[in-house]
A and B are shown apart, each in its own frame.
Chain A
Amino acid sequence: MKKGKKTMLGMTWMSYLGSAYGCLKEAGLYAGSIHELFGLTGMGFHFIMHDSLCPSGPTVYNWLEEHFEMLDRIGVYTRQEFVFKNSTTNTFDLAREAAIKSIEESIEAGKPVITWGPTHIAEFGIIYGFDSHDRVFFVEDCMPEDPDPLLYDNLGLSDVPIFYVQYMVDKTDFNYDDSVLNSFKFGLNYWHSRVALSPRYASGKKAYEVIIDALNKSDYDSFGLSYCVNVYADMKINMMKFLDQIAKREKFSFLTPVLVHYQQVVDAFTKAVELAPFKGPLGEYHYSVEAEKEIARLMQEALKNEEKFMMAVEENIQ
């Protein structure tokens, strides 16, 4: 018998955040907006690019550490399971089998779970229901179509075979201003870190340099360019709303004069999206030399303005 209530992802290109938003709302653990979730968790400061601009960039980071800390900032305690399947992994199946019961229990308690690759799309999604007789989980991904359920046997077996589940356990009170501050510190760390999880992935300031370099050399994944620009444009638009909101708080009033820089980052990404529109996974992606030059110029502009904004943040939160 089918159990669980259909849970949609929040409307954002960032599949983890969309999934977290959906699960938190359904579990009654978060009442805010999605742009506030971007800001409070710190995910809105993510900016990771592979040197070939491959579309994996936005999801290549330390999931276990960051996802825990992100939801901790909004006072939500989570539990996670992560096993990467490669030719030497012995316990992948055991981990999945053990997780099936935990997922069922979480859903029965009214708490959908975040998972990786519940459908053929290599993105995060939600498991919101199950039918133990048919041995399937009912899932949502970031696409508009109603996906087929996920067989218990296929849990963790997406094209990027990582078994990952994050359970929403409970919530506690948190200090809003402190969480914003922590989020800024996390953002600054990202901005300066230069390298994400692996050497071919750059983060923060360095990620801008990677895009500009790839465009100047005309050597990049054209689908990835469009995908990443769209993901980060959406993220920066959400962050702008969040920054506007918190600049009204006394502790963060220092943001007011520098918001103009962040707005210019948003404007640059919005224009880049017009030059590199997303046409779906099967669309054709070709850019003229002029378009490449213009996107590179826009990224240079965004880099300059985000640098000004982040420096202002750094000066004021120390």
Chain B
Amino acid sequence: MGQLHRIKWVHERLLKKEFPNCKDISQAFEISRRQALRDVDYLRYSLDAPVEYNRSKGGYEYTDSFSLPLYFLRDDEKDRLEYLASQYALIPGKNSMELSNLFQKITGEQKERKEHFQIHTSDFEEIITKAIAYSKKLVICYQKPSNDSEKRIIDPYRLFYRYNQSYLFAFCHERADFRFFLIERIKQLEVSQQSYSFHEDFLENYHLIATSFTRQKKYKAQIFFSLKPHLDRFTEPQWDEKNRILTFSFVNSSNLFRKLINLDTDYPGFTFRILSPQWLAEKIQHKLKTLSSHL
């Protein structure tokens, strides 16, 4: 029996001045007295009902006229709003805080968070939109095509719609690379307290991955660096400390060239050498020659 049903039952007895108490409610619905008390509190605090305990009668009564609102939240709707309240609370901004408070007020007293509950995909989209606006990382549980679920920490960049489905383009910290996620396969989603900054390879990866659904592969390169570079500037980086070789993926040579000439090269003795692929080494050399000829 849901809370709505119990509230209606209590309300009818209060109107008939039968002075119901927690014992009556718990016996009628086979629930704990603590749960019965939460129902009364919900009636009193969330619905603003003028409910008072009458000691002489040993039960509750209305001290003023009251009628129940026309609309009641079902338990799953309350779960949904509580989830939204908790997530909006993590997102900065006055509007988010107001929405969080409003959702919390509607749902009543805050209960312990449930581990599993049904959330609408549209709620995720709404929260993701806010997380993108405030550059907040997300922790998601993502169901793979094999049906296994994986926890991922992602930097959400852009929501997009294709072939009647919603997708999220994001940087995945587990993969150290960009990925798109089908929203309906996100089974859980939490806004993190941590913020993120845009990865410098965002745009080229967005064009490669999100605007084309053909799953094109990226180039792989190996570069010797005399000093370890910041790995988070690269995608899928693997650093071989012994040989000082970085293996990583990239989308186009022009952007990689810009990245390489913008590395912190003013450290004494800093050098780098492209080991593979051969075409990249030749192309970068050619670009450097062209650049130096203009100096």
Contacts from A to B (Cβ < 8 Å): 2, 85, 120, 131, 133-134, 136, 138, 146, 148-149, 151, 153-154, 157-159, 161
Contact = CB atoms under 8 A, between A and B. Distances in A.
13 contacts: A131-B278, A131-B279, A134-B276, A134-B277, A134-B278, A134-B279, A148-B252, A148-B253, A153-B217, A154-B216, A157-B214, A157-B216, A161-B214
Contacts of B276: 134
Contacts of A154: 216-217
Nearest to A146: B283
Contacts, number: 40
Given A85-B214, A151-B217, A154-B217, A120 B207 contact: yes
A5 to B, nearest CB: 15
Nearest to A120: B207
Nearest to B212: A159
A146 B66 CA distance: 78
Contacts of A149: 279
A120 B215 CA distance: 13
B219 interface: yes
A154 B219 CA distance: 10
What band does the interface of chain B fall in when counting residues whose beta carbon is under 8 Å from A?
Answer: 10 to 19
Contacts of B219: 148, 151
Interface in B198-229: 207-208, 211-212, 214-217, 219
A158 B277 CA distance: 22
B253 A2 contact: no
A120 B212 CA distance: 9
Nearest to B214: A157
Query: Lowest 5 A-B CB distances belong to which pairs?
Result: A134-B277, A157-B214, A159-B212, A153-B217, A161-B214
A148 to B, nearest CB: 5
A15 B212 CA distance: 21
B279 A159 contact: no
Nearest to A157: B214
